[in-house]
Structure formats: C-alpha cells, structure tokens
Amino acid sequence: MATQQYKAWSVVIMSTLAFTVCFMIWMMFAVIGIPIKATLGLNETQFGILIATPVLTGSLIRVPLGMWTDKFGGRIVFTILMLSTVLPIWMISQATQFWHFLVTGLFVGVAGGSFTVGIAYCARWFPKERQGLAMGIFGAGNTGAAVTKLLAPIIVVGYGWTMVPKVYAVLMLVMAIVFWFFTFSEPSHKVGKSVTVREQLAVFKDPKVWRYSQYYSIVFGGYVALALWMTKYYVSEYGFDLKTAAFLAAAFSIPGGLLRAVGGYFSDKLGAHTMTWWVLWVSLVCLFFLSYPQSDITIQTLNGAKTFHFGLTPTVFTIILFTLGVVFAVGKASVFKYISDDYPDNIGVVSGVVGLAGGLGGFLMPIMFGALVDLTGIRSSAFMLMFGVVWVSLMWMYFTEVRPVHADLHAKSLTTTV
C-alpha cells in the first residue's frame, strides 16, 4: 500500500513529465513554423498568428479545465486531455495550406490547458507551507519549450519538419498511458457536489484575481510569447541558421522552466509579494536594454563626420535574455503562491482564470510582435511592447499593494506618537 508521501511525489513527478511533453507540443510551431513560413510565403503578422494559434485554445480552455479538476480530480482530466490531442498533432504533418495549420493548431493547443489541471492536482497533495515548492516543481515543465528548441531542429534537419508532429503524437500517447499508471486519485481533494458552477465562477468578481492575472500575463504570457518568437528573432536579427538560433533561444526557455521550482521555494520563504515586486523591477530593466534597436549615430566633428554604432551583440543579447528567463521563472512561481495563499479551496478555478490571462498574453503578443515589425520595421519593438506591459503591472502593484501598506505603517506611527 503506497504511503501518502509516496503518492504525493509520484503525482508531482509524473505531472511534471506530462506537462513537459504538453509544453513541447504547445511550442512546436516555434521551430517548425519557420520552414512552414518559408514554404507558404507568410509575412511577419501571419507568422505570429501561426505560432500563436495553439496558445489561444490552450488559454481559453483553462477555466473549464480548472473547474473540472476541482470537480472530478486531476488524474482523469489530465489523462483525457492528453489523449484528445494525439490525432490533431499527427494531422499537422498532413497540412498543406495556411488554414490547415490554423485549424489543427487550435485542437493541438488544448495541450496548453494541462497547466491548470496539473497545478491544482499537485498543490492539493501538499500542506500550505510546501505548496509553493510543489507548484514550482510542476511548473518546471515549461522547459518543454527548451526541449522542443533542442530536439525539433535535429528532426527537421534530418527528416523534414513533417516528422516532428509524428514523433510528438507518439510521445503524447505514451506519456498519457504512463501517467495513468503512476498517478493516484484522492476523493477528499475534490470540491463538494453541492458547489455550483455559479459559485465557482464567482472568482471573476474578485479584483485580486484580475491583479494576479495582470502579473501572470507578463511573467507567463511574456515567457510563452518570447519562447515562440526568439528562434525567428535570432534568424532575422543576427542571421543564424535554424539549429543555432533554436539553441540560443533555449537560453531563455531553459531557466524560464527549470528555475520555477527555485521561485516556488523562495516564495514560500519570503512571500509572494516580495518576490513578484522584484521580478517586475528586474524585468523592466532587462526589457529596457533589449528594446534598444541596432542604431548608427553620425556626429559632425572638427575632423568631419563620425558614425557610432549602438546595439546588442548576440552574446550580450543572450545574457540579458537569460536573465529575463530567470526572473520570469521566479515570477511564474510567485504569482501562483499568491493563489495558493488566498484561495486554498478554489485553486483549480482561480488558477484557470489566471492561467487564461497568462495564456491570452502568450497568444496576443506574438501577433502584436509580428504586426509591429511589419508596421515599424524594428524587430526590437517586441521588447518595447513588453516593457509597457511590465510598467503597467508595476504601477498596479504599487497602488494596490505597496502604497496601502506604507499608508497603514504611517498611520500607526502617527498613532503611536500621539
């Protein structure tokens, strides 16, 4: 008879592996989208739509998946979710027109909803003081984005892009079977049958949920958007081939996934607010430097005109991008620490709402990246957009969390003085 601790860790390990596979598939177009773009002759906006399409359904389905997880348990919901994507993944290899990829991409995108299922499923197996770590370990499945960047280019170069969805379809089927046999169900983790859908959806009226959604739209939505966009960015901005570009782009995806567990640990120790506050500030600084386009400035001097070049080299760019991946990983964990602290009995639905916001950020931003490049011709405009989103998040946090605390402390000091 398996002990409760054994069950808990088995659930976390298998859920993390399953989420890694799901995330690999969710990010598949980040690599195969580049040869597809060349074959179909897509512009930057169309490319943004192509790579973002799976993110749309993976985001929209998160709220109902969270509700079903609360109602029926994570094991059955996660397994059915994985099995439902196997055929659509395989069908991508048969697509020949732009709309074929968009339609199949919508169905494949369901794999992205696995995050909401797994986060609620894993958290309930641990006490509150360890939930941040458990959710952080599960969230490390985001490294599936990096795995795709390392694995898919090898398959593309060796066998063509159509082999990637075939391999991934088989991998998803095997993972679903293994997951079912090495995970467990716990009836006490489900919400009572008396809890109605109306009661579950009441979280939409809570302003804190919307605030956490805004934070998550940048630390997760921004992560997804850049994970999809960076391979193409390295190819266009620095002229690298597909394998090299994908390898360098993994410098962002790997820490953005693996270090989420570290973020969960420190969020347990230092608190969700402290970690998220510093995450947003460091992100703002990184995005400020990443936003600066390659520029030449000509100055008239006594000896004639002199031209100076300003811009990030591939090495400096990758170092800053790596730093951004680290802070986004910590931020993804700290935001969900807020949720486990404030909504211990409704994690599935709340994580679904917040995950929906994050996923929609990951869907909209690549499209906006492409549109901005088409409109301005400036590739770093993607980072300019993200800089603005982080600034909004910082202001919202300041006026709703930081300033009220300072006001309370000031009021107490005046009372003590009097």
What does the H/E/C string look like for the chain? CCCHHHHHHHHHHHHHHHHHHHHHHHCCHHHHHHHHHHHHCCCHHHHHHHHHHHHHHHHHCHHHHHHHHHHHCHHHHHHHHHHHHHHHHHHHCCCCCHHHHHHHHHHHHHHHHHHHHHHHHHHCCCCHHHHHHHHHHHHHHHHHHHHHHHHHHHHHHHHCCCHHHHHHHHHHHHHHHHHHHCCCCCHHHCCCCCCCHHHHHHHHHCHHHHHHHHHHHHHCHHHHHHHHHHHHHHHHHHCCCHHHHHHHHHHHHHHHHHCHHHHHHHHHHHCHHHHHHHHHHHHHHHHHHHHCCCEEEEEEECCEEEEEEECCCHHHHHHHHHHHHHHHHHHHHHHHHHHHHHCCCCHHHHHHHHHHHHHHHHHHHHHHHHHHHHHHCCCCHHHHHHHHHHHHHHHHHHHHHHHHHHHHHHHHHHHHHC
Average pLDDT of the residues of the chain: 86
- CATH code at 362? 1.20.1250.20
Is residue 195 over pLDDT 60? no
Is residue 329 over pLDDT 60? yes
Q: How many domains does the chain have?
A: 1
Residue type, 329: A
Of residues 323, 328, 393, 320, the one with CA closest to residue 140:
328
In a domain, 353, yes or no: yes
- Residue 147's φ and ψ, nearest 5 degrees, are -60, -40
In a domain, 200, yes or no: no
Global pTM reads 0.76
Is residue 202 over pLDDT 80? no
Of residues 264, 275, 271, 270, the one with CA closest to residue 140:
264
Pair of tokens at residue 395: 């202001």
pLDDT above 70 as % of the chain: 91
Q: What is the mean pLDDT of residues 61-84?
A: 88
284-297 pLDDT per residue, tens: 999 999 998 888 88
Q: What is the mean pLDDT of residues 347-370?
A: 83
Find out whether 280 and 331 touch, Cβ atoms under 8 Å: yes
pLDDT bin (cut points 50, 70, 90) of residue 104 is very high
pLDDT bin (cut points 50, 70, 90) of residue 84 is very high
CA–CA separation, 95 vs 85, rounded Å? 16
Number of other residues whose CB lies within 10 A of the CB of residue 267: 29
pLDDT value of position 165: 95
- Residue 181's φ and ψ, nearest 5 degrees, are -80, -15
In a domain, 337, yes or no: yes
Tell me the angle at which helices 272-291 and 314-342 cross, rounded to the nearest 10 degrees.
150
CA–CA separation, 262 vs 55, rounded Å? 26
Is residue 164 over pLDDT 90? yes
Choice between 245 and 136, residue whose per-residue pLDDT is larger: 245
CA–CA separation, 418 vs 410, rounded Å? 12
**Residue span of the structural domain in which 76 resides:** 4-190+206-295+307-417
Is residue 312 over pLDDT 80? yes
In a domain, 198, yes or no: no
Find out whether 149 and 254 touch, Cβ atoms under 8 Å: no
In a domain, 240, yes or no: yes
Number of other residues whose CB lies within 10 A of the CB of residue 222: 27
In a domain, 66, yes or no: yes
In a domain, 196, yes or no: no
